Structure 1
């Protein structure tokens, strides 16, 4: 058993390295809508309904509730992002396609093992979130920018977890979220001058920069009756910093992963049907680089990169996720879900958010698991983030000849995983 544990740990670390180039994604803002193919089939529901070894990414208490197992999955993520400039006096009016990079593969891996009858540990590696835009025709070109424009943000988290069953009803868990982030920006050099940035040379076209940080996630599940389970989870902010882009992001390049927390319930309506729901809050406003408004920058009051400086103006969001699972027969489980989120991007902030149009709010998902005669579990899911637009409201400042930017985003995700029990 000891050799197996060491082998799994080595394989997890190796897979984490392979994950790095593929962690770009966006669904709820720039957070993933869920973790693990089974949860994704339920629109990301998982706080009170752990189903596989990725459970710790949502609620570490689940590590003690899914048995000894490993899960390996991959998602094909296809976002469709664009921006329209209208009413601009500098002649920038046009539709701009941000899909220079069209598809992304997002792998994930996790395993769980028992320590004793009440205690279990696990390790998960997954893409937490991120964003990518790639505009072959630069939306800022009429204002003096050159080359193609866009950003790439990738966030990988490795989560070792420990969970303890207090009794037959209540389980608690704790996890260390070790985050690795990568970021690059191109084609936005017009914002890198001595008048506009505290570090003009570190705004655009500096290649890929990276940062590491860590934070804590804790969780609880409680079985209040044979049919009703509740859950709660909280994750701390994870600090990060991109020195190569210290002239772009507030606080000298600081870019943290925000605090987030949620509540969940799972109700066994019958032996075949389980209904579940999560409510999650993501505090984007706590991260200055993300939450601070760009208005002070365009008004000439603050430079990019300064303490408490301008950002993308994102608001906190709350996400409601609803899912249903049906045990169709001994071999098949069918799933479906829907989620609805607040809009993080304000209508006044769309000019800067050409680079990060994370505006989708509604997801519809379908999924299924087939258990093979040998006991392996094949799970697939499909998720559609319906097209969403944010229409600008006086979003282009007078210094850029006014007008508005209208942002558009829709997404398609198709995933598959294989799980096996020890």
Structure 2
């Protein structure tokens, strides 16, 4: 069984997770159990995906493996008001169904130390407008379908250990792979707009590798109350050479640092309440953070970007052991949209504006010893209305996902 689990990790390492744009372009959580509780996990690890949030929790979940699949369906659109030359609502859902795998394996090396690997999609953003360029007479962006597709995968080998009976620490190497393509932006593929024409659009997928580090601590402060803290560094990625005329800093697209703190309170023997506060620093990545109106060429160091800002995510989840066979979960999270109304034009390509998420989940502990887990997420519809130079451009999004996972302790 252990060899099969390790083989599964290597197979999934070749699969990229697309379009999971919930908190900006990060996922709302990692691991199906966590996703059923709004993504909480700094102080409450539940499976071998725990290292994605807090590496310290791997030694607390013990020897186990988990494999899951999430079906994700985002709905995104942009509306141009009647004051524009091309009024109407434009549907970016020509591609709208995505399947996102995850895998985790953790092995206890001793009573106080574990080594494992977590494989998961960090997020992504995707739009596919079949009608935007044609309905705007090819005058706004270009011709043909309009859209982008960003996909990211993390492979996180993790060493975790108990310092003493009540405290654990962990460290993960964050090995990242990403790929990207853009199409339908021909009007910007020239020396008037770009520092590197022919490296703006319709060049197929480009890919890059990178690395970062994750650190975590979990402390059991009382018999019923624990606290967790984790930090994930900026992930330094190779540049997208095929799109060095589109992204700032000649194709740079690093993954921003994020960190947070959480608690878990076992209110009764059956009921656990957990909460997290997570910070995602989109504003530190120029290709994401630079304003769309920046007075430079696309691809320049200070060239136009999406205008995204840092966001803070608040998560609250509950887990209730109904009986020996069933655990039920629910959660809610909220944040701000990552960009303001002044940035809606460029974000027609990436309208990641959802703020509030409701989740439900459950685990069935099977007589055979395995665990079958489920999670549902609904991200409520939200619109960023354009202001200033983009006063007539409004971006809207809502999402649903359903995931299932199988896990087993050994």
Q: Give the whole-Å Cα distance in 2 for the aligned partners of 1:128 and 1:324.
A: 23
Q: Give the whole-Å Cα distance in 1 for the aligned partners of 2:409 and 2:324.
A: 17
Which residue of structure 2 aligns with residue 159 of structure 1?
Answer: 156
Inter-CA distance 276–88: structure 2 relative to 1 (3 Å threshold): same
Aligned with residue 75 of structure 1, among 41, 47, 70: 70
Deviation at 1:258, TM superposition (A): 0.1
Deviation at 1:192, TM superposition (A): 1.5
- Where does structure 1 lack aligned partners over 5 or more consecutive residues? 397-402
The aligned length equals 406
Per-residue CA distance 1:332-364 (angstroms, 9 max, x = gap): 000000000122011000000000000000000
Pair 1:239 & 2:227 matched: no
Which residue of structure 2 aligns with residue 9 of structure 1?
Answer: 6
Per-residue CA distance 1:34-93 (angstroms, 9 max, x = gap): 00010000000011000000000110001100011000100000000000011444x221
Which residue of structure 2 aligns with residue 359 of structure 1?
Answer: 353
Contact 1:347–1:395 (CA under 8 A) maintained in structure 2? no
Which residue of structure 2 aligns with residue 411 of structure 1?
Answer: 399
Deviation at 1:374, TM superposition (A): 1.0
Which residue of structure 1 aligns with residue 48 of structure 2?
Answer: 53
Q: Give the whole-Å Cα distance in 2 for the aligned partners of 1:181 and 1:72.
A: 21
Inter-CA distance 58–144: structure 2 relative to 1 (3 Å threshold): closer
- Where does structure 2 lack aligned partners over 5 or more consecutive residues? none
Q: Give the whole-Å Cα distance in 2 for the aligned partners of 1:356 and 1:12.
A: 30
Aligned with residue 30 of structure 2, among 29, 35, 40: 35
Q: Give the whole-Å Cα distance in 2 for the aligned partners of 1:320 and 1:367.
A: 19
Q: CA RMSD in A?
A: 1.2
Which residue of structure 1 aligns with residue 388 of structure 2?
Answer: 394
Contact 1:41–1:335 (CA under 8 A) maintained in structure 2? yes
Contact 2:70–2:100 (CA under 8 A) maintained in structure 1? yes
Inter-CA distance 319–326: structure 2 relative to 1 (3 Å threshold): same
Aligned with residue 381 of structure 1, among 353, 375, 382: 375
Q: How does 1:172-191 map to 2 (within 5 A)?
A: 172-191=169-188
Pair 1:116 & 2:116 matched: no
Contact 1:138–1:187 (CA under 8 A) maintained in structure 2? no
Contact 1:92–1:142 (CA under 8 A) maintained in structure 2? no
Per-residue CA distance 1:162-201 (angstroms, 9 max, x = gap): 0010011000000011000010000011111101100011
Contact 2:66–2:405 (CA under 8 A) maintained in structure 1? yes
